[in-house]
Amino acid sequence: DYSLRLFLEHGYIYSSNWRDSDGPFLHQIDGKTVPLVELPKDSIFDDTAYDFYTDAAPERYGLKSPDEMFEIWKEEFDSLAAEGRMINFVLHPQFVGRASRVQMLSRLIGYMKSHGAWLDTNRAVASWVLKERYRIMNKQAPDILSDQAQSHLNRTILKLAWPAILEQFLICMASLADTAMVGSIGASATAAVAVNISSIWLINGFITSLSVGFSYLISHAVGSGDDARSRRITAQGLVC
């Protein structure tokens, strides 16, 4: 239950760790069904059972040819498809990425699709399971984020935002200090400060808008692994 609670808290909608079923199911915590889908896996669908080779203990020399892998997985697919079940493949690029095995995968995918298989990501399958579950129950499907996950997200946003909040607070305090300092001089001086503060806020708003736009573009570039694009956008932002 501890691990399942962590999955929910951090916004996950599926787990793929159990091996006790040939189909998806919803987990329970303290006897209550929660929106966390288990997508079971099995060693027979793990490519390392066929193409992992090592001389180190425990030694493994039993390599299977791509044709052998294809036949095993094809027979498993035919049997499970007849029962309306699922297959959760576990594939490692360093093993199944060999040219002959990639060709085998292409044949297998073509065969499965020609027999009506739905191929998708674990997240897409888990989302479908959740929606179907609540459709059958004639209930509104809950948000993908559980209450715990939403709470975690809120804390994360606040953690990231507090420096900007503090900055804006200090800017406001500086404006109040300016007004207080010149207030004793007279009405004209106070009016001059008010006009100046308005101008500063106008300029600051323009700069902040540019900053938000550049931050979005830079974050998108960094997240997609495009370092060259992120550096180029950063340079443009500094020039602006």
Mean pLDDT over the full length of the chain: 83
- Contact predicate 71/78, CB 8 Å: no
Over residues 13-53, the pLDDT tens digits come to 999 998 889 999 999 988 888 889 999 999 999 998 898 77
pTM over 0.75: no
Return the pLDDT at 125: 94
- DSSP secondary structure of 87-144: ---B--HHHHTSHHHHHHHHHHHHHHHHTT-----HHHHHHHHHHHHHHHTT-PPPPS
Q: Could you tell me what percentage of the chain is helix, strand and coil, using 3-state DSSP and rounding each to the nearest 5?
A: 65, 10, 30
